[in-house]
Amino acid sequence: MATLTVHPIPLMLLSRSIHQQIYRYGAYAGETAMDVVYVWYIKGTRQNIVVDSGMTADMLKKANVPGLSAGAVHIQTLEDGLAKHGLTPEDIDLVIQTHCHIDHIPLAPKFCNAKFLVQEKELEYHRNPPPPSLDPRPCPEVFLDTLNWEPVSGDYQVEDGLQVIFTPGHTAGGQSVVVDTAEGVAIIDGTDTTDLNWEVPEALADRMEFLCPGITNDPLQAYDSMTRIKKMADIRIPNHEPRFAFIDKVPG
């Protein structure tokens, strides 16, 4: 069995002006949300593989997304993050796109030699998007026709020790990344969560196991996807959790 490691590459911090309950489905009223945007490098695979394409703080500020742009803080460039692993964006063979929201994909053109593995339903969703008020973070339209997409449908084995699982809810075609490590199964959770989504306040603990992301295409699907991740994962890696900005690899 393959023994792989996951290496966080944090690109920017989001200190959001919108309160936590918007992102944690009604909990943490009055608190400000804090997330980090990452690219994740998977070490030990045959190909050079990363998860998500990322975005810079400057890009987000120019996009002027309500509740996101004002709180964007630069951490490092994509090039600097990959250089720590002896790589450049041109060296990447495959980008696994958990979903195509604006905070996950704008740096995609830098991966000029890569294929982009995505769920077919995700491409369909962004080609026929809901009204902006229902999803304020659409994929930039130009990417739908210019990137070298590798669409898959449902769970898919990428390599030995690496697969994607279909985890819709946050978007219609979201996927999460299952990585076999020396300490068990790690899952990069593509459902737009931090640790706070998985740590239910005591007042709600008798009603639910975790909190769905507040921005969601279908909250019931999101809950089912999180249930699946919880059952499968020995190590959960919520894809916006700030603590991974201070961790070199998983498992450590």
What amino acid is encoded at 140 in this protein? Answer: P
What amino acid is encoded at 45 in this protein? Answer: T
- For residues 182 and 244, is the Cβ–Cβ distance under 8 A? no
CATH for 5-246 is 3.60.15.10
Which residues, 6 or more positions from 224, have their beta carbon under 8 angstroms from its beta carbon?
Answer: 169
The pLDDT of residue 61 is 87
Q: What is the pLDDT of residues 186-200, one digit of tens each?
A: 999 999 999 988 988
- Label residue 226 by pLDDT band (50, 70, 90): very high
- Label residue 20 by pLDDT band (50, 70, 90): very low
Average pLDDT of every residue of the chain:
89
86-91 mean pLDDT: 98
The pLDDT of residue 16 is 61
- Label residue 219 by pLDDT band (50, 70, 90): confident
Residue 238 DSSP SS3: strand
Q: How far, in Å, are 20, 187, 207 from residue 35 at the CA level? A: 11, 18, 25
- Domains of the chain, by residue range, sit at 5-246
CA distance 130 to 138: 9
Residue 133 has pLDDT above 80, yes or no: no
* pLDDT-above-90 percentage for the chain: 68
The pLDDT of residue 205 is 78
Which residues, 6 or more positions from 86, have their beta carbon under 8 angstroms from its beta carbon?
Answer: none
SS (H, E, C) 124-158: HHHHCCCCCCCCCCCCCCCHHHHCCEEEECCCEEE
- For residues 44 and 31, is the Cβ–Cβ distance under 8 A? no
227-244 mean pLDDT: 97
Percent of the chain that is helix, strand, coil (3-state, to 5): 25, 30, 45
- For residues 107 and 78, is the Cβ–Cβ distance under 8 A? yes
